Chains A and B, each alone.
Chain A
Amino acid sequence: MFKRILIANRGEIALRVIRTAREMGIECVAVYSEVDARALHTRMAHVAVPLGGKLPSESYLDMNKVIQAAKDTGAEAIHPGYGFLSENAEFARRVVDAGLAWIGPPPSAIETMGDKIISRRAMREAGVPCVPGLVDPVADVEEAVKEAEAIGYPIAIKAAAGGGGKGIRVVREPSEMKSAFRAASGEAVASFGDGRLYLERYLDRPRHIEVQVMFDSHGNGVHFFERECSIQRRHQKLVEEAPSSIIDEETRARMGEVAIQAGKAVGYCGAGTVEFLWSGGEFFFLEMNTRLQVEHPITEMITGVDLVREQLRVAAGEELGYGQDALSINGHSIEVRINAENPFNGFLPSTGTLHNLRAPGGPWVRLDTAMYRGLEVGLQYDPMLGKLIVWGANREQAIERMIRAIQEMNVGGVHTGLPAALQVLEHEAFRKGDIDTHFLESLTITSPEKYEALAAVAAAIYRHKLAKRRALAPADAARTGWTARARGETAAYVKRAGHSTSFS
């Protein structure tokens, strides 16, 4: 096993890796940018190396600096976390070339899975179900009608040059094809200057379900069942759970096998996630994330396996040492991401200083975060501040526990998405498991009216007390943060709810 590793990341994931490494007697080297000089990961690591620079490109994304830091500190391996360089094949290659171990999959697997077209081709060849459709554009309406028969309705007509949902037309039966094809073609020309269209099966009410896999370098692989991440907004996940409420034993086993098949097809090693779209009882390969995922803790909670420990073991060349039979699901787990964003105002990013922080506790509540009081939340990095994770004997208990934990939690100084998560968890459809990837977008996030008058009263009294304190405070007295704030001396607090825009 390694004696010392470098973690090429920041925030909660750096802490996550440090924690397991410490438990395994492995020393950790943290790297940090100028902005992160006081960040928690630099304090919890055994060694912290400044990379300098304010921008990610000057620090966490600078391959030379990161590899040099590993060499200078005698680290034997690099853990990339998620984001930053974690899915960069060139970086993985350079780490290996520098004589260090790469705690991740082989660079070739990162490359294959990193390309949408190449990965789907590889998966089709490996017998992994992909969304039925054409790789090549169709020439005209007649061809489209013919091909659509083979693919199966409903059909999505997509612009070859498009993206982000633009130029997509849904066709439910052949008679609609003609007009939809013309409209989509015109739209594609207008938007992208390229009228080429291709056809794909349109998935009604899709659900995002992914399978956690782990392979060693000796050809052994297992899966750790599925996670459901359908509660998302613009591909940003908010609430994740494991297992999924829609997957039965048989589908679970089949998805697991397919996921392992997918990994084996690209010579995978280490931890990975195979993402599927589930619709009407069928599931289709979406993509593979060649790293540890943000939502990995819910899998840990239901399987009792420390995934970072397994990552480190297989990266050091150890065999997994157990097979699929050794793994089972116990209970239910939910994760809520704590993002600095304002759910009442279009989930706009929220910035500020965390002047107050109350963490929830109690049985089966886990908080993975790098937040601390005084942390300045800016725009330099990802808005995710941490993750709240709970376990329950069943889904209902897990939901109740998460609601309770969110109610205990207080992050003062920025808006977070927690009220939105609370609204999801209390929603009848969610509790019944009747969700899809559009669920969150369909909600209007508001706080319940029942507390509104109470909040108004409290705010008015609070203002009254602030004014009184201000009137009583001698001018030269030592001021607390609160009276300073009452005087509007801390610029960070003068922001209004809709602080991404201002009218002048």
Chain B
Amino acid sequence: MKTFVQIGETTHQVEVTERLGELQVLLNGEPCELEYNEADNLGQIILMHGGKSYAMSMEGTPHDISVTLAGYRYDCELEDERERAANLAAKAANKGGGVLKAVMPGVVVELLVAEGDEVTEGQPLLILEAMKMQNEIPAGGDGIVKAIHASAGTAVAAGDKLITLAAKEDA
């Protein structure tokens, strides 16, 4: 089965097949020699590749797996071909529009954008203070600020609307 593994900006195509307990892996179409072992059923695995052994910790769901390796961490988003097609279609329909909500309770410290502003993916929209820390909340996609639902200095609960972004075509 072909899996699309996205880490940051890069998508890696990994094809995993198992015949009689024997794993065959293609990375971006190229055969990848390796040996895979699970040390326990708690997500500790050992991967042998290129004459080296890599101890990794895995956590997450089939769609979001975080890999910890040598102290670093890789957050992977995984899709199979069917899921990828569905997600791409959904993305095309949405084009950066949507409602930004607070997932944790906090206080809006500063608004960094105004209504009508054009924003790009990753651009900080506001600063939310939670757990005594100030956090920049970035835009999830390109768009235009359609409405701002919170003002600086107000406390927000988890789930409260913060900002509505419109896809560029809609505005």
Contacts and interface: CB of A to CB of B under 8 A. Distances in A.
Contacts of B18: 464, 468
Contact of B72 (A234, A447, A503): A447
Contacts of A454: 47, 49, 54, 69
Given A407-B70, A448-B72, A465-B38, A499 B103 contact: yes
Nearest to B56: A458
B116 interface: no
Most chain B CB inside 10 Å of its own CB: which residue of A410, A447, A457: A457
A403 interface: yes
Contacts of B140: 498, 501, 503
A409 B130 CA distance: 27
A286 B114 CA distance: 36
Interface residues of B, number: 69
A460 interface: yes
Interface in A443-471: 446-448, 451-468
A497 B76 CA distance: 9
B71 A409 contact: yes
A383 B133 contact: yes
B148 to A, nearest CB: 15
B171 interface: no
Given A356-B59, A459-B76, A502-B103, A382 B131 contact: yes
Determine the main DSSP class of B at the interface with A. Answer: strand
A127 to B, nearest CB: 34
Contacts of A447: 72-74
A456 B7 contact: yes
A419 B137 contact: no
Nearest to B42: A356
Interface stretch (A104-112, A293-301, A485-493): A485-493
Contact of A460 (B3, B72, B130): B3
Nearest to B159: A502
A440 interface: no
Given A454-B49, A460-B16, A460-B78, A419 B71 contact: yes
A400 to B, nearest CB: 13
Contacts of B117: none
A500 B56 contact: no
Contacts of B98: 503-504
B5 interface: yes
Contacts of B7: 452, 455-456
A500 B104 contact: yes
B25 interface: yes
B95 to A, nearest CB: 11
Contact of A457 (B32, B60, B71): B32
B68 interface: yes
Contacts, number: 194
A443 B101 CA distance: 28
A412 B103 contact: no
Given A234-B134, A461-B25, A356 B43 contact: yes
Contacts of A467: 62
A459 B67 contact: yes
A503 B12 contact: no
A494 B64 CA distance: 8
A383 B8 CA distance: 25
A498 B131 CA distance: 17
Given A356-B42, A379-B104, A446-B8, A500 B135 contact: yes
A208 interface: no
B128 interface: yes
Interface residues of A, number: 65
B61 A488 contact: yes
Given A349-B130, A451-B70, A463 B25 contact: no
Contacts of A6: none
B164 to A, nearest CB: 10
Contacts of A457: 5, 12, 14, 25, 27, 32, 34, 47, 49
Interface stretch (A19-27, A169-177, A340-348): A340-348
A459 B68 contact: no
A422 interface: yes
A347 B135 contact: yes
A410 to B, nearest CB: 5
B23 interface: yes
Interface in A405-424: 406-407, 409-410, 412-413, 415, 418-419, 422
Nearest to B6: A456
A379 B25 contact: no
B20 interface: no
B75 A456 contact: no
Given A356-B59, A379-B131, A462-B45, 13 more contacts: A351-B104, A358-B57, A407-B71, A413-B59, A452-B7, A455-B56, A456-B76, A458-B47, A459-B58, A495-B64, A497-B64, A497-B66, A500-B128
Interface of A: 234, 236, 341, 344, 346-349, 351, 355-356, 358, 379, 382-383, 403, 406-407, 409-410, 412-413, 415, 418-419, 422, 446-448, 451-468, 480-482, 485-486, 488, 493-504
Of all A-B residue pairs in the complex, the 10 with the closest CB atoms, nearest first, are A460-B14, A456-B12, A503-B98, A455-B74, A447-B72, A456-B5, A455-B67, A407-B71, A459-B76, A406-B71
27 contacts: A349-B135, A351-B104, A382-B131, A383-B131, A410-B57, A415-B73, A419-B73, A454-B69, A455-B67, A457-B32, A457-B34, A457-B47, A458-B67, A461-B23, A461-B36, A467-B62, A468-B18, A480-B41, A485-B61, A486-B61, A495-B64, A497-B75, A500-B104, A500-B130, A501-B103, A503-B94, A504-B99
